[in-house]
Chains A and B, each alone.
Chain A
Amino acid sequence: MGIKHAFDPSTLVPVPPDPPEPPLLARGLTRRQFVRTAGVAAGVAAGSGLWGPFLRSAWAKNGGLLPRHLHGGIRPFGPGTQLFHFFLPGPGAEPASITDFDGVVGLAAATGSGTATKGKGEKSSRPFEVDLRFMKGRYIGRDGKEHHGTFGFI
């Protein structure tokens, strides 16, 4: 739930947005989900004319209502490494983790302490660090349509 402490701050330079990606059907599905969805759809509906509705239904169930990620972000492992689509908490940094969004956002970066209890009741005091956020409002989903919803960055 927190990330800032784990990396050299000099590597956490914000990266500008990538060029917009084309709206491919497979966006929003993992490769495995896409293969499974497409495979089931083909088995049930091939030749029946039901491919479209079935696939659209599966698409909505699997992520059509989900929002899209930001186009910028950070590269915690250094230049040229994987881009993660969010920004660290701080003045001037975008707090939302979704794009095509219009609504209210809250960000809470906090520390504290608590108690961990292991199997046989062994207790120990442990510090914590969290970065918790919410986004509530309208957004464009992966299906290209406008929706309303609430999301937690957790």
Chain B
Amino acid sequence: MQTHDFNSGIDNGLFWTKRIPDSSVEIHLDKNRAMMRVQTIELEDYHDVVNALQDGPSKEAVASFTVHWSGHNTTQHIHDAKQQFRGTYSLGKVTVEWKAEEAGLTYETDPASTSETVFALLGRERNGVFF
């Protein structure tokens, strides 16, 4: 049973998307690798995703994440005129570790090496007016 759902909310349709410092993402596309490290970003804990999508009650929280992309050797080209986007992505693996804190609760993941990839991609994309 889900008991916490941390996300950055919806801002006029912009879904769970928040500006982060440029320095928090390092990209090495030539090596098919990237890293995102976000420190103490303000989020909301909505308890579960259904409550989150309904913008129900939430608690203030802060979280930090480190994600590494690597081993991206399978390339996928997409040209989707209907959705107006195109891109070249490589599929591979990620490792993730994160922690979150809110009043009365902290959560910290096990070491990144123990996380399991469900789906991961890394690549270049153009959409909208840049399509």
Please provide the chain A residues from 1 to 15 with a CB less than 8 Å away from any CB of chain B in the complex.
1-3, 5-6, 14
A109–B119 contact, CB under 8 A?
yes
Query: Which residues of A lie under 8 Å from residue B50 when comparing CB positions?
Result: 6
CB distance from A47 to the nearest CB of B (A): 31
Known: A95-B121, A102-B130, A132-B65. A111 touches B15 (CB 8 A): no
CB distance from B81 to the nearest CB of A (A): 11
B104–A118 contact, CB under 8 A?
yes
Interface size class of B (residues with CB under 8 A): 35 or more
Query: Which residues of A lie under 8 Å from residue B125 when comparing CB positions?
Result: 94-96, 101-105, 135
Choose one: A85, A106, A128; the contact of B36 (CB below 8 Å): A106
A86–B15 contact, CB under 8 A?
yes
Please provide the chain B residues from 50 to 97 with a CB less than 8 Å away from any CB of chain A in the complex.
50, 53, 63, 65, 67, 69, 76, 78, 80, 82-85, 87, 89, 91, 94-96
CB distance from A39 to the nearest CB of B (A): 19
Using a Cβ–Cβ cut-off of 8 Å, how many residues does chain A contribute to the interface with B?
Answer: 74
Residue A53, interface by CB 8 Å: no
Query: Which residues of B lie under 8 Å from residue A68 when comparing CB positions?
Result: 13-14, 128
How many pairs, one residue from A and one from B, have CB atoms within 8 Å of each other in the complex?
Answer: 237
A86–B16 contact, CB under 8 A?
yes
CB distance from B39 to the nearest CB of A (A): 12
Query: Which residues of B lie under 8 Å from residue A92 when comparing CB positions?
Result: 78, 80
A100–B105 contact, CB under 8 A?
no
CB distance from A14 to the nearest CB of B (A): 8
A69–B123 contact, CB under 8 A?
no
A152–B117 contact, CB under 8 A?
no
Query: Which residues of B lie under 8 Å from residue A85 when comparing CB positions?
Result: 13-15
A152–B24 contact, CB under 8 A?
yes
Query: Which residues of B lie under 8 Å from residue A29 when comparing CB positions?
Result: 12
Instruction: Identify 5 residue pairs between A and B in the complex whose beta-carbon atoms are under 8 Å apart, listed by A's number.
Output: A82-B53, A113-B109, A113-B110, A138-B130, A153-B15
Q: Which 7 A-B pairs have the closest CB atoms?
A: A100-B128, A114-B109, A112-B115, A69-B13, A99-B128, A102-B130, A108-B94
Apart from A95-B125, A105-B87: 18 A-B pairs, beta carbons within 8 A:
A3-B53, A5-B2, A14-B83, A66-B11, A70-B83, A84-B10, A89-B119, A90-B119, A95-B121, A99-B128, A104-B122, A108-B120, A112-B110, A134-B36, A150-B20, A150-B21, A150-B25, A154-B41
Contact surface of A with B, Cβ cutoff 8 Å? 1-3, 5-6, 14, 16-17, 27-30, 63, 65-73, 76-77, 82, 84-86, 89-92, 94-119, 126, 128-130, 132, 134-136, 138, 140, 149-154
